[in-house]
């Protein structure tokens, strides 16, 4: 990033992720929680994995482990992952699809590279986010929902591809079941394209998955793996550099009153 927060109107702070190793050498960049900002709306964890080239006979392996009192959301941009859980669900997630697992009172699951991808080698790029549940929903029955790419609302206009993973925005409503006011979307900007982030929620942040993005009319850009926390109540117009595309994730929502831990 060429300018830090305070230099650009509408930007509250910028979070740089830390590297974590949840899968025996497979590293992720973790933007949330951060020492200065533990949550953005209900988002309590935000992991960026890849882009990774997995050699033949190697894969992504998250062993069986429990979750409770939250939901996990897996969204792929490249590659495939198989989800298995104690409810008996076995699903392959591919780019554009959404796996939304509500842990509630408790669930155990695992995630792995499909056998055919492990045999040949593959690429992997995606985001896993954890969404805290309000206290009244923390003990609901565990559930798993898989949404195909055709079910997820998407619009393309003026160099902007907007995919609404969860919540409501830009005249779209996602079918994903949520338990508090939130927004989760993927935004792809072609070179020079702009996207207006409306102040629809108190908490909003933009994560740069690839490329660079700036604020229209102001100098400076933000680069890959930076989480840009926006100032509450301020409309911000994002713009990709003229000759470079940008892939972004928009997260946000209303802050939860309860304290949450992971």
DSSP states along 71-115: EEEEEEEES-EEEEETTS-EEEE-TT-EEEEE-TT-EEEEEE--H
Q: Residue ranges of the domains in the chain?
A: 17-148, 151-253
pLDDT value at position 5?
Answer: 52
Within a 10 A sphere around the Cβ of 255, how many other Cβ atoms?
Answer: 15
Distance CA 9, CA 19 (A): 29
pLDDT value at position 22?
Answer: 77
Neighbour-count burial of 199, counting CB atoms closer than 10 A to its CB (0-12 exposed, 13-18 middle, 19+ buried): middle
Which tokens sit at 229? Answer: 């926390």
Q: For residues 33 and 91, is the Cβ–Cβ distance under 8 A?
A: no
Q: What is the pLDDT along the chain (262 residues), one digit of tens a residue?
A: 333 555 788 999 999 999 998 766 778 999 999 998 999 999 999 999 999 888 888 778 889 999 999 999 999 999 999 999 999 999 999 999 999 999 999 999 999 998 888 888 888 999 999 999 999 999 999 999 999 999 999 999 999 999 999 999 989 999 999 999 999 999 999 999 999 999 999 999 999 999 999 999 898 899 999 999 999 999 999 999 999 999 999 999 999 987 776 6
Using alpha carbons, list the distances in angstroms from residue 146 to 175, 210, 255. 11, 26, 26
pLDDT value at position 121?
Answer: 81
Q: How far is CA 41 from the centre of its chain?
A: 13
Domain 151-253, CATH 3.40.50.11540 — does that match? no
Which tokens sit at 143? Answer: 């559930």
Task: Give which of 224, 206, 209, 216 is closest to 241, Cα–Cα.
Answer: 216
* pTM of the shown model: 0.94
Query: 17-148 — its CATH code?
Result: 2.60.120.10
Return the SS3 of 117: helix
Domains 17-148 and 151-253 agree in fold: yes
Distance CA 37, CA 117 (A): 37
pLDDT value at position 170?
Answer: 87
Neighbour-count burial of 152, counting CB atoms closer than 10 A to its CB (0-12 exposed, 13-18 middle, 19+ buried): buried
Q: For residues 93 and 152, is the Cβ–Cβ distance under 8 A?
A: no
Strand partners, 167: 183
* Residue 120, phi then psi, degrees to nearest 5: -100, -15
pLDDT value at position 28?
Answer: 94
DSSP states along 123-161: EEEEEEEEEEPPGGGTTSPPEEEEE-GGGS-EEEETTEE
pLDDT value at position 1?
Answer: 38
As a whole number of Å, the end-to-end CA separation of the chain is 29
Return the SS3 of 168: strand
Distance CA 206, CA 153 (A): 19
pLDDT value at position 3?
Answer: 39
């Amino acid at each position: 990033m060429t300018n830090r927060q305070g230099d650009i109107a509408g930007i509250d702070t910028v979070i740089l992720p830390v590297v974590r190793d949840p899968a025996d050498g497979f590293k992720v960049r973790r933007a949330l929680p951060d020492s200065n900002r533990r949550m953005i709306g209900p988002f309590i964890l935000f992991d960026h994995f890849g882009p990774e080239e997995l050699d033949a006979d190697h894969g992504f392996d998250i062993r069986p482990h429990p979750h409770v009192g939250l939901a996990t959301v897996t969204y792929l941009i490249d590659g495939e992952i198989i989800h298995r859980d104690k409810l008996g669900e076995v699903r392959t997630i591919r780019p554009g699809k959404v796996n939304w697992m509500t842990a509630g009172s408790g669930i155990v699951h695992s995630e792995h590279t499909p056998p055919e991808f492990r045999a040949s080698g593959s690429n992997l790029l995606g985001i896993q986010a954890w969404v805290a549940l309000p206290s009244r929903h923390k003990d609901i029955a565990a559930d798993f929902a898989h949404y195909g790419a055709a079910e997820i609302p998407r619009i393309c206009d003026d160099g902007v591809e907007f995919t609404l993973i969860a919540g409501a925005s830009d005249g779209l409503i996602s079918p994903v079941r949520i338990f508090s006011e939130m927004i989760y979307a993927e935004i792809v900007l072609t070179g020079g394209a702009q996207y207006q982030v409306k102040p629809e929620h108190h908490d909003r942040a933009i994560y740069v998955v690839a490329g660079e993005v700036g604020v229209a009319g102001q100098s400076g850009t933000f680069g890959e793996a930076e989480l840009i926390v926006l100032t509450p109540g301020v409309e911000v117009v994002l713009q990709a550099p003229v000759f470079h595309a940008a892939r972004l994730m928009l997260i946000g929502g209303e802050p939860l009153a309860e304290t949450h831990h992971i």
